[in-house]
Structure 1
Amino acid sequence: MSDLLNTPASYGDDAIVTLTPREHIRLRPGMYIGKLGDGSQPDDGIYVLIKEVVDNSVDEFIMGAGKQIEITVVDNVVTVRDYGRGIPLKSLAAAVSEMNTGGKYGGTAFKKTVGLNGVGVKAVNMLSSEFTARSVRDGEARTVTFAQGIEQSDRWESGVEERNGTLISFRVDEEVFGAYAYNMEYVEEMVKNYTYLNLGLTFKLNGQSYVSKNGLLDLLNEKMSDAPLYAPIHLSGDDIEVAITHGSGYGESYYSFVNGQYTSQGGTHQAAFREAIAKTVKEFYHKDYDASDIRTSIIAAISVKVTDPVFESQTKIKLGSKEIEPGVSMRNFVLDFIGKHLDDYLHKHAETAQVLQKKIVENEKERKAISGIQKKARETAKKVSLNNKKLRDCKIHLTDRNDLAEQSMIFITEGNSASGSITTSRDVRTQAVFSLRGKPLNCFGLTKKVVYENEEFNLLQAALNIEEDMDNLRYNKVIIATDADVDGMHIRLLLMTFFLQFFPDVIRGGHLYILQTPLFRVRNKRETFYCYTDEERQQAIRKCGAQAEITRFKGLGEISADEFKEFIGERMRLDKVRLTKDDPIHDMLEFYMGKNSPERQGFIVDNLRIEEDIVEGDLQIGEA
């Protein structure tokens, strides 16, 4: 019997399978659009599909055709209409359904665009339960429809009075994605980014117009949550545009783009930009400042246009191109542009130059003041890391060149019981756990010195590997996982204060999340429902009837490891911590974490809800 169990499965010619492009996209969608998701995160696949369609319309604008793009999202049907040249009618069906078919393979129809692989809109087609493509060219039109990538109809028309252009409409296939919903804030942010990078292009999203007059300057003003130390420096030239300022916090914050594509993980253009800023500032002041002192608190954006850009994945979030065009080094191009134009700007704006130098000197003083304890803290962290009981690491990290690198995450938990449940049920390849001893220190109003003096903060910083800069961040998602009670919420605030105070670029880079775990389990002998809200609980009680058993989860440790797998897997619910100009960081921290206890007490009393009253109301529903 044991010999039979150890016999490997048969492996013959019949085990070799050849998939069609359509079958491969539907079987392995992650290779084409990253992760699937349910729409709760901005990098979920349903938003990537919108972007793949819009990219083609923006490419038309870049080529001088069409100044308006209309997007509607209604009942999960997305429609994108541009007023460009329109896809050539005879090629329409092939252009949206046949892989490696397109007009961007080294021809003259498109230059310095994003959609160069002949994959994007085909993936949208094959991952949609309904897909329509319509092209209008000089009074003639053709409309083709598909279902899951299979053609359903093909209609030609003549004598139409519509303006030239292309219309793409699709409904993402729930058979592949499962249940999903669009968060219109994410779609709006995508649209805004397009407008910043394409002056003169108007977007209409569900009827509302978006247009930018000042490019990256508008982006910086939108993203900054506190007043800058000096008016943002805005520079532009052939194939490059930058905006630069400094804030009052820590860290470095960059927004980088290539041919209108937001490269959230940077790349060669962003690396050259960082180097160029430090080099130019040193030469302007004729002082050998440390690069970190120059860049600490910087908030900047860079947009470049590259011929045939090379990205490190199909999702195009990190640029790999070493040349901006054949024979022209990306690094030298950016260094030369910043070296000339930033230097000219600082010579012409003495007040800005003075404020910038003052900030650099302040950064230098603080860095030197903590250098002593910094060295000791590093030595301690290095010793502890050999046997760090707080960190249960994973095997794959964001810094690895691996298909799973973007799935890497770390859960920051409170206490051993919560850590135990997550540790037992986690995916050891991509999910790490960092366990807090209890409530961390309230670091509001303190200097970065506390990060090195406080053992817990120092070990957390070491685990994330963000002491030097964000390029070394080891996890794509940093997830705060606390109990759903008063103490848990307090710990959540303390951790958010830590990141806002010292590492805001973790938040600006979209890496900080809050784990949502179920508040209740409602079940009878046949069904079990995990409920995250009171509304979900009431619905579950109705379904289970009067005899429903209701369990209130107050701590993560109360959820068994077997159950926890459900909550940190593919259907994991995460709330992204986001910063906008409407979020005054200092004012929020002052109110929630400052010394104004009477004011906070009044706020709590005014907003207090009695849980017993809520539970009593739910029981009445169950008895009805």
Structure 2
Amino acid sequence: MYIGSTGPTGLHHLIKELVDNSIDEITAGFGSVVEIILHADGSATVSDQGRGIPVGRHASGVSALQVVMTTLHAGGKFDGRASSGYKTAGGLHGVGASIVNALSEWIHVQVRQNGKVHQQKYARGIPLTKVEVVGVSEKTGTTTTFMPDSEVFETIYFSHDVLAERLREFAFLNRGIKIVFKDERRTEDGKERETRVFQYAGGISSFVQYHNQNKEVLHKDPIYIEGIRDDVTVEIALQFNTGYSENLFSYANNVRTPEGGFHESGFKSAFTRTFNAYARSYDLLKNTKITLSGEDIREGMTAVISVKVPEPQFEGQTKQKLGNTEVEGIVQALVNEKLKAYLEENPNIAKKVIQKSIQAAQARDAARRAREVIRRKGILDSASMPGKLADCSERDPALCEAFLVEGDSAGGTAKQGRDRRFQAILPLKGKGINVAKARLDKILKNDQIIDIVTMLGTGIGQEDFTLEKLRYNKVIIMADADVDGAHIRTLLLTFFFRQMPQLVLEGHLYIAQPPLYQIRKGRRARYLQNDEQMNDYLLEASMESAKLTNSRITRYKGLAEMNADQLKDTTMNRESRILLQVKMEDAVEADRMFTLLMGDDVDPRRVFIEKYGSQVNLDLYGA
């Protein structure tokens, strides 16, 4: 119950708990570097330069280290002693080390303290040794190495990207702290990984700028608000860009709060009130009949809210939402005071934001009217499915899958090759709309988008999207294995990422993998997915020249070049196909990449293509 699940989320929570403890030590003024290592054998190490877990005899008669490692709520930072040195902490109720111990096949803890290195070993939470002195050291700190228990977790493989995102957050949220991340495991193609170092002198202002990479911003420097009231520390950084998405990230004691809480609600209410008051006082809403909502003003805003609370109250053991009611008023007061002063001192920026907010309000009204027209015509009604949709007969969404197929011709072939019981086919004509450059009112006028939304049944946008209404468990993008197909996939991925992120987060989005080559010898056919497999085949065949005799090398330029049986066998049959599940392990990096590839700024995209273009196999056969 303390880590949330036995899946990947719970697994990564183990490292997070140990890093929380190390960050708490640094925040209290002890040390400045945390090192995380993923070892080739699957174990992980977290090491810091803090004071080290106490190793002296505890009142219970055993070492304090053993008490901390085996007893819930034994952490010194929660016992109320002034000597503990913690005013705020991210670790939850002192359970971190003991929970990691209990859920590990084995764990080794080394404490550097008073010139000595102390060590104790455990197996599934049970001490294997007493606390022993195993060396000398002039340094201080704690090093914990553990192997997750495969009998507890569904997987014990740590994701490099998931950890990188969390460690990067830690570094942004704690200005100046240095976090070193080493992954000793090789990449899938056998390469060694470089050590990554996260350290940001600008703190959360740098975090906001990182989010806004490759985006056109309305003002160069983020707006920064900070203050301490009633022992609650508040930091807020925000910056506006010309885009249409709102990106708000909130944290409490270095813990991400994706469900928000009173720190977030306090910010939003004060933010909306302050901007509206400024607009009214300077008559910036004249000649309009518009009332600016918080959603209007926050369009294009990237913001990070970080609060440090002495006694945080998180709703749920996995810390999804901050429940301290007193934080709301503290944040409101600071935002009212300091944001008002900023707007008064920077009228040009204030007017740019207000003008953009007015445009957002007008677009919101246009989107509302478009929805009303769509609803009135019954376009998004499940009873009015797209004319090109070949639906499946099964009505249990858990058993159904939908293919979004590039082109009418390939769509026709897919309809012939599908299993009509549970596979639905929607042919897509053209490349569709780049939603990264459009507001919802314009998106709702695109026929391709309307067809997709109608077929899925979920609705679209923050107000209407409901994942529970999804009609298919798997939504599969099936496009040609060439440059145009890649572009279409990217457009569709951008749409789902921007307008239906829950679909991606819950694991419903997939990419089909049609083969690029067919090798036929006599009546036997072999399919190869890419040029790499083709090169391997040719190398193998060159060793035995007889293999090439009477063989034929077909290169598919599109899905439509395959007949129905070939498309079924290679790409659609559940027993033989290859599907790639689209995951969002690093949401920040995903946002940055979609902005780079699909945004307005050309120069970063040109640099990216120049750097990585040589790694792409361009299809020039049909040029």
* TM-score relative to the length of structure 1: 0.69
Change (3 A) 1:479 1:104: farther
**Structure 1: distance between partners of 2:272 and 2:503:** 21
- Counterpart-to-counterpart distance in 2, 1:276 and 1:189: 29
Match of 1:93? 66
Alignment partner of 1:234 is 2:234 = no
Q: Which amino acid aligns with 1:438?
A: L
Aligned in 2, Cα 1:164/1:436: closer, same or farther, shift over 3 Å? same
8 Å Cα contact 2:504-2:584 kept in structure 1: no
Alpha carbons of structure 1 residues 418 and 218: separation in structure 2 relative to 1, 3 Å: farther
Partners in 1 of 2:403 and 2:93 — Cα distance?
39
**Which secondary structure does the structure 1 equivalent of 2:20 belong to?**
helix
Q: Give the whole-Å Cα distance in 2 for the aligned partners of 1:347 and 1:591.
A: 31
Native 8 Å contact 2:262 2:324 kept in 1: yes
Distance 1:258 1:57 in 2: 16
Distance 1:280 1:125 in 2: 48
- Report 1:173-572 matches (<5 A): 173-177=149-153, 181-206=157-182, 209-225=197-213, 226-231=215-220, 232-238=222-228, 239-286=233-280, 288-316=291-319, 318-323=320-325, 328=326, 330-380=327-377, 384-385=381-382, 413-414=404-405, 436-439=426-429, 442-444=432-434, 448-454=440-446, 457-458=449-450, 463-468=457-462, 481-483=476-478, 485-486=480-481, 489=486, 491-499=488-496, 503=498, 506=501, 515=510, 554=567, 559-560=572-573
Q: Distance in 2 between matches of 1:61 and 1:156?
A: 26
Q: Deviations over 1:57-86 (max 9, x none)?
A: 111122222222222223133221112221
Residues 442 and 272 from structure 1, CA distance in 2 versus in 1: closer, same or farther, beyond 3 angstroms? Answer: same
Question: Could you tell me how far apart the structure 1 residues matched to 2:489 and 2:360 are?
Answer: 29
Task: Note closer, same or farther for the CA distance 1:488–1:71 as it changes in structure 2 (3 Å cut).
Answer: same
Distance in 2 between residues matched to 1:268 and 1:373, nearest whole Å: 34
Greater shift, 196-205 or 54-63, is seen at 196-205
Check the 8 A contact 2:205/2:237 in 1, yes or no: yes
The answer to whether the 8 A contact 1:461-1:467 is kept is no
Q: Distance in 1 between matches of 2:465 and 2:76?
A: 35
Once the two structures are TM-superposed, the CA of residue 365 in structure 1 deviates from its matched residue by 3.2
Amino acid at match of 1:319: K
Amino acid at match of 1:289: L
CA positional deviation for 1:32: 2.3
Q: Which residue of 1 aligns with 2:187?
A: none
The one-letter amino acid paired with 2:461 is E
Q: Which amino acid aligns with 2:29?
A: G
Which range moves more in the overlay, 97-106 or 164-173? 97-106
Q: 1:563-584: per-residue Cα shift (whole Å, max 9, x none)?
A: 78x979xxx6747685548647
Q: Secondary structure at the match of 2:120?
A: strand
- Letter of the structure 2 residue corresponding to residue 58 of structure 1: I
Rounded Cα–Cα distance in structure 2 between residues aligned with 1:186 and 1:98: 28
Deviations 1:170-193 (A, max 9, x none): 233445446654443433332221
Instruction: State the distance in 2 between where 1:219 and 1:132 align.
Output: 34
What SS class does the counterpart of residue 254 from structure 1 fall into? strand
Pair 73,360 (structure 1): closer, same or farther in 2 beyond 3 Å: same
How far the C-alpha of 1:160 sits from its partner, in A, is 3.0
Closer, same or farther: CA 354–558 of 1 in aligned 2, 3 Å: closer
Shift of 1:218: 0.5
Equivalent position SS for 1:449:
helix
Seen in structure 2, the aligned counterparts of structure 1 residues 223 and 134 have a Cα distance that, compared at 3 Å, is: same
How far the C-alpha of 1:513 sits from its partner, in A, is 8.0
Paired-residue identity, %: 24
CA distance in 2, matches of 1:139, 1:388: 74
- Look up the equivalent residue of 1:290 and give its one-letter code: S
SS in 2 for 1:482: strand
Which deviations, in whole Å up to 9, do the C-alpha atoms of 1:430-457 show, x marking residues without a partner? xxx9974534762136553333233553
Distance 1:36 1:346 in 2: 46
* Among candidates 39, 44, 61, match of residue 74 of structure 1: 39
Residue number among 109, 115, 126 corresponding to 2:102 in the alignment: 126
Provide, for residues 147-184 of structure 1, a one-character-per-residue CA deviation record: whole Å limited to 9, x for no partner: 33333223422983332221111233445446654443
The Cα shift of 1:46 comes to 3.8
- Contact persistence 2:69–2:97 (CA under 8 A): yes
Match for residue 62 of structure 1 among 10, 22, 27? 27
Contact 2:270 2:335 in 1 (8 A): yes
1:87-117 Cα deviation digits (max 9, x unpaired): 1112212212333433344523333212123
| Secondary structure class of the residue paired with 1:314 | coil
> RMSD between aligned alpha carbons?
4.9
Q: Which moved more, 1:355-364 or 1:54-63?
A: 355-364
Q: Secondary structure at the match of 2:16?
A: helix
Q: Which moved more, 1:370-379 or 1:218-227?
A: 370-379
Code of the residue aligned with 1:82 in structure 2: it is D
**In terms of mean alpha carbon deviation, does 131-140 or 254-263 score higher?**
131-140
Question: CA–CA distance in 2 between the matches of 1:279 and 1:393?
Answer: 47
Is 2:139 the partner of 1:163? yes
Deviation (angstroms), 1:495: 1.2
Residue matched to 1:402:
none
Secondary structure of 1:280's aligned partner = helix
Change in Cα spacing, 1:227 to 1:290, as seen in structure 2 (3 Å) is: same
Q: Secondary structure of 1:32's match?
A: coil
Q: For 2:473 and 2:350, how far apart are their aligned partners in 1?
A: 36
**For 1:512 and 1:558, how far apart are their aligned partners in 2?**
19
What are the superposed Cα offsets for residues 177-229 of structure 1, whole Å, 9 maximum, x if unpaired? 46654443433332221121112322222365432211111101111131311
What 5-or-longer segments of structure 1 have no aligned partner?
Answer: 1-29, 38-43, 397-408, 426-432, 522-529, 612-624
Cα distance 1:48–1:534, how it changes in 2: closer, same or farther (>3 A)?
Answer: farther
Q: Would you say the 8 A contact 1:77–1:170 is kept in 2?
A: yes
TM-score (norm 2): 0.69
Q: Secondary structure at the match of 1:453?
A: coil
Q: 1:120 to 1:140 in 2, by over 3 A?
A: same
Deviation at 1:358, TM superposition (A): 1.9
Given residue 50 of structure 2, which amino acid in structure 1 is its aligned partner?
A: G
Aligned-residue offset at 1:49: 1.8
> How far has the Cα of 1:460 moved from its partner?
5.4
Q: Distance in 2 between matches of 1:244 and 1:508?
A: 28
Contact 1:195–1:211 (CA under 8 A) maintained in structure 2: yes
1:256 match: secondary structure: strand
Q: Label 1:412 to 1:294 Cα distance change in 2 as closer, same or farther (>3 A).
A: farther
1:84 matches 2:47: no
Distance verdict in 2 for CA 1:179–1:306, change over 3 Å: closer
Aligned residue identity for 1:74: H
- How has the CA–CA distance of structure 1 residues 483 and 508 changed in structure 2, closer, same or farther, with 3 Å as cutoff? closer
